[in-house]
Amino acid sequence: MKKLNTKFPEDFLWGGATADFQYEGGFNEGGRGILSHDYETAGSNETPRHHTLRNKDGKLITPNSSFILAEDVSNDVEPVFLENEYYPSHQAVDFYHRYKEDIKLMAGVGFNIFRFSVCWSRIFPTGEETEPNEEGLQFYDDVISEMAKYNMEPLITICHDELPMNLVLKYNGWTSRKVIDAYVKYAEVLFKRYGKRCRYWLTFNEINAVRGFGPTGVRKASGKDRYQAAHNMFVASAKAVKLAHRISSDSQVGAMYAMSEQYPATCKPEDIFHHMQARRENWYFVDIMGRGYYPSYAQNLWQRHGFDRLDITLEDTQILKEGQLDYIAFSYYRSNITKAGDAWRNVGGDTNPYLEVTPWGWPIDPLGLRYCMNEIYDRIQKPVFIVENGMGAVDEPDENGYVADDYRIDFLKKHLTAMADAINIDKVPCLGYTMWGPIDLVSLSTGEMKKRYGFVYVDMDDRGKGSLDRTPKKSYTWMKNVIATNGEVLID
């Protein structure tokens, strides 16, 4: 059998990735303000998560986790915490109090980088203060110092699908340009405080998901509002890139895209053409931020969404040009099928008969990762960085809390091999790989705990009950060997 070269570049960055509201907890500690996710309940694959809000008549309304899709959410809503509801972001898995233990575990597996997101409302509780919350800043300083003990560098996500709740309610999230100013003020504080100890930054997580999920914090929006919100985020990101470069000249700033691969369902020309257009729904975001200008197909795309123009000033155009990303980061979990007549969607579509699926029905497609890396580099010609990948699975610990997760090892092995092929055979420059949720954390889409990605088991159930003790799984030892040999153990 031919052996592939799975050795990675000497300076390859190996790590894990987390998001504050899924991992950190400590929601009412350290002066942290309320975040858009704090009113989001737990759910499951069958029962969507929802927010708990009251309208001005005192009536409870529970829009699903996509604020943006909630037709009945008017300007007069008030968020409420209900006693019989469980809100996963409040405790998450308690990194806030356990960061030393978690960082030690990550160091034990050999990480030289750790991607985490700063909680915006920990730094600016309402987003509108003139001075940042020192206690919040100190928390991340302590985290970075702890990492430094193990020579682990940070990759900081400035905004992971969230907003201080005040900015959601007062300005209808990113539809308002006021939020650009609030973001830039916040980003500047982070660059000044951590810039000497942090080279790699991400301005936004999965920014291309703004149409489907709730990262824009938009309560009610037409198609045009959503794209205007995205434009405002592009401008905010470009301003942040410029600032980061000015404050620390060696900083590298990217943004992160949900780059699930899309395949045409058949070779019928109509399906292929539809696939090209569906793919452009994602490329739109990468092209604008990676190349610094709106692509020629933008207007046609807007028209498909029911509008002709956006509010884009000449100054915005200049900022986008000057604030291009240094690298393109993306999450890769699965591939999808699309065909003529399908509504646009980021994930989903018909079943792919050639692929197996995870327990949550996500198709397992390692080659799709290699495909994506090539596509992005061909198009943008900037290094790529895989900042999320992994398999959500149900783990069954034995009586000692040990999980023999061979299925996860198999998943990771195939994806890392595909990544090595893209690097070594296709010559795609790739900065690193940060696996999603190295220590088990709360699922974004379902709010469940039982959908686990990590190689460290956290003893906690879907309602937040358990000791929260951490126990390395079988994949921990496997991953340790992979990193220690810089990929050589992947060779069959």
Residues assigned a catalytic role? 206, 388
Q: Are 323 and 238 in contact (CB under 8 A)?
A: yes
Cα separation, 378 vs 374, whole angstroms:
6
Cα separation, 153 vs 166, whole angstroms:
32
Judged by beta carbon, residue 86 or residue 150, the one nearer ligand BG6 is 86
Smallest distance from the beta carbon of 20 to ligand BG6, in angstroms? 10
Cα separation, 481 vs 355, whole angstroms:
28
Which two structure tokens, joined as six digits, stand for 278? 């569906």
Judged by beta carbon, residue 168 or residue 258, the one nearer ligand BG6 is 258
Which two structure tokens, joined as six digits, stand for 356? 């197996």
Q: Are 118 and 158 in contact (CB under 8 A)?
A: yes
Smallest distance from the beta carbon of 362 to ligand BG6, in angstroms? 8
Q: Are 203 and 243 in contact (CB under 8 A)?
A: no
Residues at the site binding ligand BG6, with contacts judged by CB under 6 A: 19, 22, 205-206, 258, 331, 388, 392, 436, 443-445, 451
Cα separation, 264 vs 83, whole angstroms:
47
Cα separation, 337 vs 350, whole angstroms:
6
Residue 449 Cα distances to 106, 298, 333, 392, angstroms: 20, 39, 18, 10
Smallest distance from the beta carbon of 256 to ligand BG6, in angstroms? 7
Q: How many CB atoms lie within 10 A of CB 151?
A: 10
Rg (Cα) of the chain, in Å, rounded?
Answer: 21
Smallest distance from the beta carbon of 427 to ligand BG6, in angstroms? 28
Smallest distance from the beta carbon of 335 to ligand BG6, in angstroms? 15
Residue 349 Cα distances to 172, 208, 250, 340, 389, angstroms: 31, 18, 42, 11, 20
Q: Is 468 helix (H, G, I), strand (E, B) or coil?
A: coil
Smallest distance from the beta carbon of 448 to ligand BG6, in angstroms? 8
Judged by beta carbon, residue 189 or residue 441, the one nearer ligand BG6 is 441
Judged by beta carbon, residue 298 or residue 355, the one nearer ligand BG6 is 355
Cα separation, 461 vs 286, whole angstroms:
37
Judged by beta carbon, residue 228 or residue 443, the one nearer ligand BG6 is 443
